[in-house]
Amino acid sequence: MWRVGIDVGGTFTDLFAWSEEDGSYKTAKVLTTKDDRSRGVLQSIEKAGIPFEQISFLMHGTTTATNSLIERDYPDAAFITTDGFRDTIEIGRQHRKYLYDPYQVKPEPLIQRRNRFSINERMSAKGEVRRELDEGAARELARTIKEGGFQAVGIGFINAYANPAHEERMREIVLEEAPDAHVVISAETRPIFREHARFSTTAIRACLMPVMTTYFDRLSEALGERGFKGTLLILKSNGGVMGPQNAKLRPEELIESGPAGGVAYAAYLTHTTDFDNIIHTDVGGTSYDVSIVENGSGLITRDYELEWEVPVSVPMLDIHSVGAGGGSIGWVDNGGSLRVGPQSAGSEPGPACYGRGGTEATITDANLVLGRLNPSLSDKFELDMAAAEAAIDRLAEKVGLSRLETADGMIKISCETMAQAVKGVVVARARDPRDFVLASFGGAGPMHACFVAQAMSIPKVVIPGQAGVASAFGATAMNIRHDIEAFHYAPLADVNVDDLNRIYDGLEEEAKTRLAADGIDVESMELTRTAQMRYIGQTYEVDTDVPAGVLSAGDSETIATSFHKAHAKEFGVSNESFPIAFIALAVTATGKLKEPPIYDFGAKKPLESHASRSVYFDGTWHDAALYDGSAIGPGSSMSGPAIVEYLDSIAVIPPGCGAVVDNGGNLIVTIGK
């Protein structure tokens, strides 16, 4: 039987599969089918030659949820809230993205104002009823929603995290009038204070439910028609997977479903190399993803924003994405300056050199013109050099540069965009990039990794032999995971330990129920506790480890010590004389799955350059040695300039850099100054 990982990106759909019997593996890469991404999933399996009936687990990372939200491509949804809070999700927190820009425009609201409704009700912050729900108005509003044909409805009442009774009753009334609608309430979506994030996350769940239900139903049906009888699991933003039924109910947990596989592969590398701390980067056709893996785990955030002032308030891997990929388009702004992205040619029509109708110059076209890409693209299909040159020439004429200057400038600009993305993640988490290595994934990643590392003073770059399908490989290494939270404010010095035990017991029971729904037996369940805590008076929290088992008053000192350490790690300071408070309690539930084998992707052959090619670096053509990535074994070393061609990616080693192949077949590049 085969365990299959599939990553659906903006341009390519990647597959990595390994045999549970003998550990052999297969890979495939096909163009993403944007009109129906499930077709690309099926095509990748067929291209890999894997019989559908021989798949035990299909681990699927998808960008469908993210694309639907960014493009606002979903059926109209309604939102019901307390009188006076109708515009909360649009007003936001009144932050400014650019402090001195008077012309900045806020993102389009997820749910238009005409589809947002308010009703007379009120709960206090302590969960006490201040105004009863107006059931007559609620009934009338439910009928309006039915007449409007809304497929999904989000309900977010103020202070519902303290008492969800009014939200639950409103849901009952809406379902009585519109039984086919998807109805979600904020007390179940995000039972934590701060209404803007809670309402926004609830609106996201409502908007995505019809989209993802349709997608997973269509995919499951198509797989079944082809003989698939295994288990379908969906990658989550928190670094785990869940079954499609849970995914349909909690689609907001899929925002970073695609990049999550890359983080899992970076974690795999920490177990198979000598590197504990890795900056994971992934360059696809459309985007550049960055995250930190520390001591084998990706860092988690609760402050993720889909767009400026559009928070997704669920535990997610701290991944930062920018529009910089192989398909990123070069253009000239009103000031006559060369710019690149975030617009992308994607897979349709794709870069000009793909010969699929694209006419605009992209990063892939620039790399081809500079000699860094093999025109045969590793024998996949022939790239059109003339079309790439014509596209670059049109752009060069607008900006007043030569062809080579324009192509080189595009690469430098895009690499600087990538470097700033790395800086944003590393600096925001108070880490020093010099303490990390940079792992480069994606088909286009290894072409730019060394330049990004140079810009950020990162000493080494790790390029796996399967970099082009790393996210798909990572998907097969993931476990089922659920994060469950409950609001509980209490100063640590005054906390009622019985309340903590009661809440944690309830969270753990819910966690076991969710794991059981995903087919996990009790022996394979692993539960860990954390709490969101802060110094009293702060407006932000840090995750703090909490001991398992029945808590007693004596555990307060242990929890306090854990908090001070976590605070110092995140912010560089702590003070044991400041009082501490609980804000929320959480349980992470993990269902352990079989781990992939430890692979050696290197060949048992001596290093041998099979040819050379002229490659353009910094204004000069260099004679760069060419290497077949599948034919170089452990211990092989090389000096830049060099090009290493793998089946699904190409590594560019600039002048001044050196590389060696480790025992796992990973190319370890030492960055020159």
Q: 14 burial class (0-12, 13-18, 19+ CB within 10 angstroms)?
A: buried
In angstroms, the CA 111 to CA 86 distance is 11
Q: What are 631's two structure tokens?
A: 């034919």
The total number of residues written for the chain in this structure = 673
pLDDT tier, 601 (very low <50, low <70, confident <90, very high otherwise) = low
130 phi and psi angles, rounded to 5 deg: -95, -40
DSSP for 189-200?
H--SS-HHHHHH
In angstroms, the CA 346 to CA 31 distance is 9
Span 456-471, average pLDDT: 90
Residue 139: how many other CB atoms lie within 10 Å = 14
Return the minimum-mean-pLDDT range out of 80-89, 153-162, 355-364. 355-364
Span 109-118, average pLDDT: 95
Span 346-351, average pLDDT: 80
Nearest to 77 by CA among 100, 110, 120, 48: 110
The pLDDT of residue 603 is above 70: no
Nearest to 482 by CA among 399, 588, 592: 588
Place of tokens 């045969």: 376
Residue 375: how many other CB atoms lie within 10 Å = 12
In angstroms, the CA 291 to CA 296 distance is 13
Contact 618, 649 (CB under 8 A): no
The pLDDT of residue 424 is above 60: yes
Q: CB within 8 A of 361, min separation 6: which ones?
A: 329, 330, 352, 388, 391, 392, 394, 395, 406, 407, 410
Q: CB within 8 A of 499, min separation 6: which ones?
A: 488, 490
Cα–Cα distances (Å) from 24 to 45, 234, 303, 559, in that order, read 16, 23, 40, 46
Span 440-464, average pLDDT: 92
Phi-psi region of 444 (alpha: psi -120 to 50; beta: other; left: phi over 0): alpha
Q: What's the whole-number average pLDDT of the chain?
A: 90
The whole-number pLDDT of residue 606 equals 57
In angstroms, the CA 507 to CA 491 distance is 20
The pLDDT of residue 553 is above 80: yes
383 phi and psi angles, rounded to 5 deg: -85, 145
pLDDT tier, 225 (very low <50, low <70, confident <90, very high otherwise) = very high
Burial 521-549, CB ≥16 within 10 A → b, else e: eeeebebebbbbbbbeeeeebbbbbbeee
pLDDT tier, 361 (very low <50, low <70, confident <90, very high otherwise) = very high
The whole-number pLDDT of residue 358 equals 86
Nearest to 116 by CA among 150, 139, 65: 150
- Delineate the domains of the chain, giving CATH numbers in brackets: 70-206 (3.40.50), 328-411 (no CATH), 483-591 (no CATH)
pLDDT tier, 461 (very low <50, low <70, confident <90, very high otherwise) = very high
The whole-number pLDDT of residue 134 equals 94
The model's pTM is 0.86
Residue 412 amino acid letter: K
pLDDT tens string 612-669 = 899 999 899 999 999 888 888 788 889 989 999 888 889 999 999 999 998 888 899 9
Alpha helices, DSSP H only, in 532-643? 555-571
pLDDT tens string 5-27 = 999 877 788 999 999 888 888 98
Q: CB within 8 A of 177, min separation 6: which ones?
A: 139, 142, 143, 145, 146
In angstroms, the CA 521 to CA 1 distance is 21
Residue 128 or 341, more confident:
128
Contact 564, 576 (CB under 8 A): yes
Residue 102 or 605, more confident:
102
In angstroms, the CA 25 to CA 4 distance is 10
The whole-number pLDDT of residue 602 equals 58
Could you list the beta-strand ranges (E) of 299-421: 300-301, 305-307, 310-311, 316-317, 320-322, 328-332, 338-344
Q: What are 465's two structure tokens?
A: 């032999």
Alpha helices, DSSP H only, in 316-377? 363-369
The pLDDT of residue 604 is above 70: no
Span 356-384, average pLDDT: 85
